Every structure is written in structure tokens, then in C-alpha cells.
Amino acid sequence: MKASQFTISTLKEKPSDAEIASHQLLVQGGFIKKLASGIYSWMPLGLRVLRKIEQIVREEMDRSGAQELLMPVTQPSELWKESGRWQMYDEGLLLKFKDRHDRDFCFGPTHEEVITDIARNELRSHKQLPVNYYQIQTKFRDETRPRFGVLRAREFIMKDAYSFHADLESLQSTFDQMYTTYQRILTRMRLDFRAVEADSGSIGGSASTEFHVLAESGEDLIAFSSDGEYAANIELAEAITPAREDEPEKPIERIDTPNQKTIQSVVDHLSIDIKKTVKTLVVKGHQTPIVVLVLRGDHTLNALKAEKLEAVASPLTFADESEIKTVIGCGPGSIGPVGLNCPVIVDRAASVVSNFVCGANQDGVHWINVNWGRDVIESPIADLRNIESGDPAPTGAGFIEIKRGIEVGHIFQLGNKYSASMKASVLDAEGKALTMVMGCYGIGVSRLVGAAIEQNNDERGIIWPDTIAPFQVILIPINAHKSPAVQEAAEQLYQELNDDGFEVLIDDRHQMRPGAKFADAELIGIPHRIVIGDRALANTEVEYTCRSSGETTLWPISQVPELLRSALDL
């Protein structure tokens, strides 16, 4: 492709409204153009990247035996009402509208309902199972606050797959197969990623795994063990019970703590170790007005873990000050578990602390040297906190490290969540109705574009992995309009590389200075650059530069195809 005939619309400055590298560089490099909040046009340069990722995904899904189809973006409300999600699906994300006949529809954020409708009409016998259907298609989720460019857009491209099975054993087999397929997809894209245990969220189901591309800009925290055998989203990662503290119990004492309303202020006031304190959080209960959650002073409540407790109302809601005073009799800064007449649940780590400090349920007063069993009635113990770096791994092997990740894929074991409510069944071997069990497997195709950039960029621009770069190599002739030798050599090399199957962009824009061409090449991230100039040509050589390493060498012009092929990481 000749740059003079290809739309390259780079900007000199980064866009002021872009917060992270991928958003900045996709706009500055002319890969995308904003149409509305969270909605982007993919320009020719960006579309080439997008199509490469689609192709990798398609090849690996086909390799797994999945069948590609294409479902409508527009979905009738009747299907969503059958599944029970018309009113409950992530309130606000479902964009609803009426057609000219006043019938309710939505723009599909996901396709469980539609594929289940297809399956219940197409599949008749258990002999047709298992089957796995997938599509690569546009989705729409009406995000309250779209941001980060293509990482949290309202309109995006996704590969979603859905499998149907006669039993859970078959579902597990396909789930494992999709796990391997996703690993192959991300490995082919040359991305550093982790597969982690995850919560199923609004999609539902019994088990799920997320795939995260590691990047400092990631919104999710990933906990994994130092031995590499364990990984989980921090929302789900189990914090195991530490060893019980072995020290003699001291006499309990009341102590005045005027105006000390936070754990840190109490610690500073009493000059004590924060690990010898507990904090008491008050949330709304499922069957009682409030429930008290007790954590060690230095730990953070995991909201997802808490709202899964039977006693706690869901979604998790903290009690306000008036509710706390009505039930406990003091403000939030002086609450403690001693003598409470309401449900109390204690975190594992807090349950093994001895001689601890806590509020005395009277404003400006705390207890010191409190001990479980002696001073506080034994309460139910649960895993309530976020796991932290340095904690023992739940597997018992290694210690926890925490990194940020960008979720790019999620696979679920749905069970019969949708097939039961929508009556999707087949006949079993005895001719009886058998409700199918389902799996669901999603990967964000357009999101992967942004994730790849977050992991591969520098101060000059994008550094595309070879497998998804818009072009593999860029040729930059220096002052070709003034040098017939450069012009002839560049044209000949361009044709030769094209004939050999390389994806080549030649920057033949005569009106641009060489420095501007170099800047554009680095900004848009072409992995391999070849400069043709009079000085090197005098020795029948060209100058080769690797975008990722920055190393520059001279190549004999006659060996360029051979050397370039060996340099490509495909």
C-alpha cells in the first residue's frame, strides 16, 4: 500500500479528553474517530488491526470445532422477558426502543436469549449435542460513563459463543476446550495475560474464568501466586485464615478516645499497631435492619464476598448514621462487637487477633485488650476481605502477588439458567425431555485492540506485535523525488516484498520531511522499518530498524526479503 493513496490522519498532539495510552494513541494515530460518547468509527488503519484480531479469533474458534453464525443486533423484548432479564439486566445498560408497531425491542448487549431460542427450535435430540455456536458481531451497552476509548465503549465488537450439552460433564469438556482456545488466541497476539477465577455477575452460572491482559492501566486487580499455580480476580480471591496469635490474654479496659473516629486516628492516639485493632462496618441485613461485619483494622472489605452472605441484603448497602444510632446507640466512629444485640459476622483474619482494640459502642470511648470468647460472644466467621500482596496463596503454595489487568475475555458455565426458563430441551435416549445445559464464551475483539496498546507502547507511540500490526513493514525512501536511484530502489523493493507476501506500506508522500515520516511510522507502530537513502545505497544497503528494540542495522538490499522474514514474529 502506498501512503499517498491510503488515509493516514495522524495528529501532532494527543487528544485532551483521552485518559490512557490506548485512547490517546488510537485517536492521535488516526485509527479511530469519535462519533458520539463511547461510539467510534474505525478508520482504514484501525480496521486492518481489528480484522487481524478477528481472523485470529475466527481461526482458533474454527479449530475448536465451533460453528460460526450471525444473530441480529436488534432483539425483541419477549425473549428477554422469558429469561427474566428484561427488567434486571445491569439497570441502564440495556438500550430499549419501540418499533412503529409499539413493540418493545433492545439493542443486544449479549445474545443468550437469541441463541437459546435458536437452539430450542433447531435441536431435537441428544444425539445433536454437544454443539457450540459463535459469532463476531457488534454489541451495544449503554454505559453510564463510557471512557478509555475502545476499552469501555458503548458500541463494540465481540466474539460470543454459546454451547449446548446433555450433561455437566460434556459442558466441562467444552469449557476446558474454550479455556485452551482463549490461551491460543492471546498467545498468538503475543500478549502477556493471566486466566483467573472470576464471579459470574449478571450473566449467571456456576463457574467462570476471566482472561486479563496485564497492564498498569487495568481497572481490575489480579491476585496470583508466586509459584504460578493460582490466579483469581481480587473480587473472588480467597483470603485464608492466618495462624492464631499465641499470647496471654490481658485484662480488658475502657479508654477515652475523644474525637477519634477512624481506625488510623485511634492507632495514632493510642500508639498501637493497626493489626491489633478491628473495625466494625454496619450494613443493611436481609432479615434484620442491620448486620455488623468485623475486619482487622488494616484490611479492606470485599463487597462482592459480603453481599453473598445470606444475612446481608443484596446489593450491599451501608447503614446510615441514623440507622446505626437507632440500633447501636452511637455514631459510626465508636462501634465495636462487644455486647451487640444484632447479627455479627467476623472476618477470618480478625477472628484470630487477641488483645485487640475496638469501639465501645459509646461515642469517644474504645475498649483495649478485647478477646474473642471471653469478651465477645463467638460469632460466625467468613472470608470478608480483599486478599493482599504477601498473603499465603489459597492453594498453600507460594505467596500472593497483585497486578492490574484489563479483562478481555470471560468464559462461563451457565448450566440451565436460560434453557430452563426458556424451555430449551431435547429428547434423551429414552425419549424424555432433557433440559440442555449451556456454556457461554465471550472475548472483546475491539477491546483487544486497546489492551494490546496498553501493553505495547512507549513515548513515541504504539509498538504493535507483528501478528496484529496494520502493516508488517514500512519503507521510507529519503528524498526520492530528488534521487532517481532512491526512487528506483524503493519501487523495486516495494514490489519485491509485495510479491513475496509481506504487508508493506511505502511512505511515498513527497511533501513530507523524513523526520515527519519517521514520527508517523513510530506513532502508528509499524514493527519493522526500512529506510532507503543515497548514502546506504552507495554500498547497496538499506537501513533496518526494529520498532520494539529500537536497534538499527544495515542490510544488503538483495537480502531484505530473507532477513525480514527471519525478523518477523508470526
Classify 473-567 by CATH class: alpha beta
pLDDT tens track for 283-302: 999 889 999 999 999 999 99
Task: Please tell me the predicted confidence (pLDDT) of residue 444.
Answer: 97
pLDDT score, position 92: 64
Confidence of residue 198 (pLDDT cuts 50, 70, 90): confident
Residues 570, 566: Cα–Cα separation, whole Å: 10
pLDDT in tens, 334-393: 899 999 989 999 999 999 999 999 999 999 999 999 999 999 988 999 999 999 999 999
Distance from C-alpha of 181 to C-alpha of 163, rounded to nearest angstrom: 14
**Whole-angstrom distance, CA of residue 402 vs CA of residue 389:** 6
Which homologous superfamily does the CATH classification assign to the domain defined by 3-238+402-454? Bira Bifunctional Protein; Domain 2 (3.30.930.10)
458 has which bridge partners?
Answer: 461
Average pLDDT over every residue of 230-254: 90
Region 109-122: what's the mean pLDDT?
96
Strand positions, DSSP E, 226-355: 231-233, 253-256, 278-284, 290-296, 344-347
Q: What is the pLDDT of residue 227?
A: 80
> CA-to-CA distance for 198 and 106, rounded, in angstroms?
27
Q: What pLDDT is attached to residue 89?
A: 65
| pLDDT value for 170 | 96
Q: Is the pLDDT of residue 91 over 70?
A: no
Mean pLDDT of the chain: 93
Q: What is the pLDDT of residue 99?
A: 94
CATH topology of domain 253-382: YbaK protein (3.90.960)
In this prediction, residues 14-38 reach a mean pLDDT of 94
pLDDT at 135: 98
Give the model's pLDDT for residue 246: 84
Reading phi first (left if > 0) and then psi (alpha if -120 to 50, else beta), residue 88 is in alpha
User: What does the block give as the cell for 482?
Assistant: 530528488
Domain residue extents for the chain: 3-238+402-454, 253-382, 473-567
- Positions of E strands within 398-444: 400-415, 425-427, 433-435, 437-444
